[in-house]
Amino acid sequence: MINIADLTKEKLPGNYFAPSAYLQGDFEAGMIENRAGNRILALPETLIQSIYATMDQELGQAAGLVLFNCGRWWGKNFYTRFGEEVSKYYRKPVKNLTMIELIQCLKQSWKTHGWGSIDLDISYHHKGFLVITNNNSPFAENAPQTNQPMCYVEAGIFASFFSQISGQNLHCVQTNCESMGAKSNLFIIGLEERLKPVITWVQELQTHEQIMQNLCS
Amino acid sequence: MTYLIYFREKIMHTDLTNLYYKAENQTLNQGDLKALNSHLTSLAKRLEAYHFLRENEVIIFQPVANQLEEKYSNIEQAILEQALKDWLTILRYCAWAMLINSQEYLQQNILEGLTDVIKAKEMQSLETVLSQMLNTRLKELLSEEKYALLQPFLIRVENTILPTP
């Protein structure tokens, strides 16, 4: 028989990343913290725009690779902090969360940090790929308009985050970008070797749908 | 000052916040004072309803759990327990959202996180039945006035996480 009195003794968690609970600011000190007491860095639009402009000027075509690696590093640290906070709040290690709980936490965390709204499409998992959609990305919004996707930092974060979850060295390539006038930013995650041709297909301006068809055929 | 801003934005009712801003620029008129009075009266009732919900979780939920076990005897107890824990959480958040009169709080602090989790379990009929049982139980236990205060939040939950019939 189910005993409700026992159930009420357990911790019943809500949404850890709810913005009103997660972000706390001290206006006088000019400081933003999250609910774990970690400092949050606010990225002004001008800074993001300047990063793109400076990297392009200093590094030219290599700028994308450098930003991607910055994202990888950022993603590695993000995963560590995310894991610590989530496991403390839910009182279980991240690896013991169900996939849907983990995805939900990532989605909420992503949104609360102001990086956009993400959705995961796992329908290609049998082929070894994961597709992520991100809407309202501040990186895409402040990137220069070219005919190539520009969210290198996010691609690096996704590559690193999902590598650590899966225990495999995964790569991520962006196929569609809001900065090119697309409705959403689309990313494909998979093994680096298998994603190599995607880079060429993106340069050839193939659509995301064509690329997925090529990959899965 | 920082604490006041924090308090105002996070805890105060929207209607009280509006009066707070208005009072910074002018004295409040008769209509505003009437609204303030009605707000304070309503707050006392909300507080009473909140106390009731907080003190009576077992009384509210135990008969629901018993009925649920009887109706879904073919389903594992752990699954039923998880569904009951989800709804215990939901009711706690509804109670607090009712007290601070904030649908936004309910949406951000519980529904955004829980909706996909509940939908992914593919136990929609169980969730729907549990929600109906809980609603019936709350109607039995709460006075009409207290139930009316809670009802908009329960409706928000149903519209968000349950399938449209």
Tell me what pLDDT residue A31 has.
86
Contacts of A19 in chain B (CB under 8 A): 108
Domains of chain A: 45-216 (3.30.1380.20)
- Chain B residues contacting A via beta carbons under 8 Å: 1-2, 5-6, 9-10, 57-58, 61-62, 65-66, 68-69, 77, 80-81, 84-85, 88-89, 92-93, 105, 108-110, 112-114, 116-117, 120-121
pLDDT tens figures, B5-36: 333 344 556 677 778 888 888 888 898 889 88
pLDDT tens figures, B122-150: 778 899 999 999 999 999 999 999 999 99
The continuous run of DSSP H or E covering A24 comes out as: strand A23-26
* HEC readout, chain B: CHHHHHHHHHCCCHHHHHHHHHHHHCCCCHHHHHHHHHHHHHHHHHHHHHHHHHHCHHHHHHHHHHHHHHHCCCCCHHHHHHHHHHHHHHHHHHHHHHHHCCHHHHHHHHHHHHHHHHHHCCCHHHHHHHHHHHHHHHHHHCCHHHHHHHHHHHHHHHHHHCCCC
Tell me what pLDDT residue B12 has.
57
Tell me what pLDDT residue B165 has.
64
Q: Do B69 and A18 touch (CB under 8 A)?
A: no
Between CA A201 and CA A103 the distance in angstroms is 29
Tell me what pLDDT residue A111 has.
92
DSSP state of A127: G
Q: Give B29 to chain A, closest Cα distance, Å.
A: 32
Single-letter amino acid, residue A153: V
- Secondary structure percentages of chain A, helix, strand, coil, to 5: 55, 15, 30
Single-letter amino acid, residue A191: L
Contacts of A203 (CB under 8 A, 6+ apart): A148
Q: Do B1 and A104 touch (CB under 8 A)?
A: no
Q: Do A13 and B89 touch (CB under 8 A)?
A: yes
Q: Note the residue count of chain A.
A: 217
Q: Which of B50-54, B55-59, B109-113, B130-134 has the lowest mean pLDDT?
A: B109-113
Probe site for chain A from B108, B116, B118 (most A CB atoms < 10 A): B108
Q: Tell me if ipTM is over 0.90.
A: no
Q: Do B109 and A15 touch (CB under 8 A)?
A: yes
Percent of chain A surpassing pLDDT 70: 100
Please, what are the averages of pLDDT over each run of 10 residues along chain A (217 residues)?
90 86 82 88 90 94 94 94 92 84 90 92 90 94 92 97 93 96 95 94 94 91
> In the beta sheet, which residues pair with residue A24?
A33
DSSP state of A28: T
Tell me what pLDDT residue A177 has.
95
Domains of chain B: 47-161 (1.10.490.20)
Tell me what pLDDT residue B4 has.
34
pLDDT tens figures, B66-102: 999 999 999 999 999 999 999 999 999 999 999 988 8
pLDDT tens figures, A127-161: 999 999 999 999 999 999 988 999 999 999 999 99
**How does the average pLDDT of chain B come out, rounded?**
86
Q: Do A14 and B110 touch (CB under 8 A)?
A: yes
**How does the average pLDDT of chain A come out, rounded?**
92
Please state the pTM of the whole predicted model: 0.80
